[in-house]
A and B are shown apart, each in its own frame.
Chain A
Amino acid sequence: MSTSPVTARLDRGVPRFGGFKLAIVRLEIRRQLRNRRTVFFTVAFPVFFFLIFGLNNAYASDPIGRGNESAFIMISMALYGTVLATSNGGATVSVERLSGWSRQLRITPLQPSAYIAIKMATSLVLGLVAILSVYIVAAFTHKPSMPLGLWFATGAAIWIGSLLFTAFGLFIGYLLPSENVMQLIGFALMLFSFGGGLFIPLSQFSHPLRVLATYTPLYGLNQLVHYPLVQGSFNWSWLSNLVSWLIIFTVGATWRFKRDTARV
């Protein structure tokens, strides 16, 4: 066998970064934003919730740590919208496998790891859109109050922390090849949000339920993103909750991903 086979075109090369390109992320974002349900749940829904709960004069101006209750609710709602956006971003793999798009991509130079990188980048942008929508609308209401630096600190914490839910979305997306995976994720995140104390303070739960709630995936992240505002004593169990779930989701997603891309 000749070591340098002659081909009709000699100038062929393999793309850099396994085929990852920002132009593709841009197309993915355009595609996601075209989906009205995605936009409704990740942008309109959290903004609407903030307007209902975050402006309630009965408690909105009550002080909490370095700000007020309205700022606290703003952070909760932004976190909710963001994890929904990043989960959905990850879970699009489910629809793509079902439609044969993943198979189509396998007959292009795109490497599976670059595909995941595209999903993560897209999720991060969509997550940012969700955070900004809540924070900007909230700012216009003049209700939330906290030092300017904390708007950025909490926003950044939500943004980076939401990557946990990209892993969650990828895991579920690879696990369940179904058109209904988005509904399932919406339902799961609703439960996680209650468990994490995003909608109702955990202090209002009964004791056994409160203990159970501290093991749910949004608990640690929710406590951590509020910490700059609430201050007080730092509880290391928040971080161990976050890290544990990150490991679970990442290992799960990697396991399913490897199964999916194995060539048999």
Chain B
Amino acid sequence: MAERDVVPRTPPALELKGVRKDFGDVHAVRGIDLRIEPGEIVAFLGPNGAGKTTTIDMMLGLSVPSAGTVSVYGRTPLDAVRLGLVSAVMQSGGLLKDLTVAETVEYTAHLFTGARPVDEVMERAGISLIADRLVAKCSGGEQQRLRFAMALLPDPDLLLLDEPTQGMDVEGRRAFWKAIRHDAQAGRTIVFATHYLDEADAYADRVVLIREGEIVADGSAAEVKALASGRAVRATLFGADQATLRALPGVDHVEVHANSILLHCADSDAVARYLLTQTNAKDIEITARALEDAFVALTGSHARDESVQSNADEVLR
């Protein structure tokens, strides 16, 4: 066949085509197309209920898409799991309380062919010192690093992390990400779901923003943050000139429909000032963009934590 002559191309680490997932009338995932190349570190950023976990379940073959396909290194998720190509750190649960940390890793190691040595993965996940502790006596952060150690056993080419630092204290989060970052240098493809913007920013090369089961932004952390910081300005303006509007400072998108204009911009004050002083525009309306709404929802509780923290710092001084 002609195909034989073609140099084999490495398939994407992860490829989703038109993936949808419905639970009855609930449309948890509404058509996701995504391609992640080997070696990328990608954050799946979105609020709770955005469909992140549902999507990760489909990547692992834990559930089947209602429509569309998911492939992992060119294989079905089930095959990829059986071969140890993909492994995951799940959000919570998944541990036996009456086994010790080392026994849990050992148990899981027996399930794979050619698993990495138990001592090695425990070292890399930073749990060597608690090897003999019963899982029931481990903190949330320790349990999460145990899950990470288990996920490292097959030496997966793709590692999925579902809200890996959920419920951890600051120290736990730092220790966890230190272990992940250290590991990522090996060239593994890593996809993690999070609703912390700062986590996505600090640890991902690429951020996929997901909301209500759809991808609403995809790019570098800086690009996505820039998208999120803008405002929308609406106005009624007769004879609007698209090119002039587009040339205004900070404007990245212009729509003109009959007499109404819509601008997406970074500096809404400057645009408003221009419209009021240089044109006959009226009915000016400035709104935070939907994306920013999403980010407020995403980062709101976190920002509040920080302000509480800085207040506390001031009190201490």
Contacts and interface: CB of A to CB of B under 8 A. Distances in A.
Interface string B63-99: 1100000000111000001111101101011111111
Nearest to B1: A3
B111 A7 contact: no
B64 A263 contact: yes
Interface stretch (B4-12, B205-213, B263-271, B295-303): B4-12
A52 interface: no
Interface in A91-117: 96, 99-101, 103-110
Contacts, number: 118
Interface residues of B, number: 44
B157 A264 contact: no
Contacts of A21: 110-111
Contact of B62 (A9, A11, A12, A107): A107
Interface in A1-35: 1-9, 11-15, 19, 21, 23-24, 27, 30-31, 34-35
A48 to B, nearest CB: 24
B233 to A, nearest CB: 46
Contact of A99 (B3, B87, B93, B157): B93
A263 B113 contact: no
B158 to A, nearest CB: 9
B3 A100 contact: no
A11 B83 CA distance: 10
Contacts of A5: 8, 10-11, 73-75
What does DSSP make chain B's interface, helix, strand, loop or mixed? loop
Contact of B94 (A11, A12, A100): A100
Interface in B145-166: 150, 155, 157
Nearest to A110: B111
A264 B54 CA distance: 11
Given A8-B157, A100-B90, A109-B112, A2 B11 contact: yes
Interface stretch (B101-109, B121-129, B193-201, B253-261): B101-109
A109 B84 contact: yes
Contacts of A1: 11, 74
B83 A24 contact: no
Contacts of A19: 110-111
A13 B61 CA distance: 18
B60 interface: yes
Contacts of A101: 93-96
B187 interface: yes
| Interchain residue pairs A-B with the least CB separation, the first 4 | A100-B93, A5-B74, A104-B94, A100-B94
Interface of A: 1-9, 11-15, 19, 21, 23-24, 27, 30-31, 34-35, 96, 99-101, 103-110, 263-264
Given A101-B95, A106-B81, A263-B62, 19 more contacts: A2-B74, A5-B8, A6-B11, A12-B84, A13-B113, A15-B112, A24-B107, A24-B110, A31-B99, A35-B98, A100-B94, A101-B94, A104-B90, A104-B94, A107-B87, A108-B111, A109-B81, A109-B84, A109-B111
